[in-house]
A = this chain, B = another copy of it.
Amino acid sequence: MKNTLPQFYSVFSIDCVLFGFDGGELKILLIERNEEPFKDWWALPGNLVAQDESLDESATRILYELTGLKGVYMEQYYAFGDVDRHPQGRVVTVAYYALLRLSGDKTPKPVSDFAKNAQWINVNDVPKLAFDHQKIYEKGLEKIKRRIKHQPIAFELLPEKFTLTQLQQVYELVLGKKLDKRNFRKKMLNFGILKDLDEKQKGVSFRAATLYKFDKRKYTKLFGKEISF
């Protein structure tokens, strides 16, 4: 690498794209930046990678510092390296994502001064984001849209027993569009991956809906189709 500096000088960062479903809304975790550039802007939780940490370690640390969240399993999905993506120099960022079922203990709160606020925000209300974070976020959204069509992630976001209305809502939120109720139910039931529990919703005064459970064995058989030897 001799003689290659400053031509190859650069820094790299991590950005975290966390989607959360709270039973009613699909949300994305954002911070309000407390530092230049883009001070006071909304952004994905992200910061520079330190010299002594691996990318995975860095992602875990950064998420914790900026949002207080711990123990979230994130997966690396893409490195963004457009030349002009950062106004202060060349910064390549490695993006990580996760899709979570939100419960009370997932309330975010920054630990470091780098962020002055952290919040789960409805994906329909995402504000203008710093840097190229809109692009990074959209690629993350594409990723979960593809996954929900091929993998049983919808079921990980629901309680063990759920109604078809709840299931449809998860699909509509992730795919970002209304689905025809009759068609959705027909398709879902035809796949044969739902177990009718012969049990109704409780605590509902009128027209309690049937509860279903996800039949993982059948699901795997249907969608895990592969040429295996």
Task: Spell out A's residues near B (CB within 8 Å).
Answer: 1, 4, 7-12, 48-55, 58, 76, 78-83, 88-90, 92, 94, 148-150, 171, 175, 179-180, 183-184, 187-188, 191, 222-223, 225-229
Contacts and interface: CB of A to CB of B under 8 A. Distances in A.
A53 B12 CA distance: 15
B8 A149 contact: no
Task: Give how many copies assemble into the complex.
Answer: 2
Contacts of A80: 55
Given A149-B226, A187-B229, 16 more contacts: A4-B11, A7-B50, A9-B51, A10-B10, A10-B51, A12-B81, A52-B83, A54-B81, A55-B79, A58-B81, A81-B94, A148-B227, A149-B228, A150-B226, A180-B229, A183-B229
Contact of A11 (B10, B53, B81, B179): B10
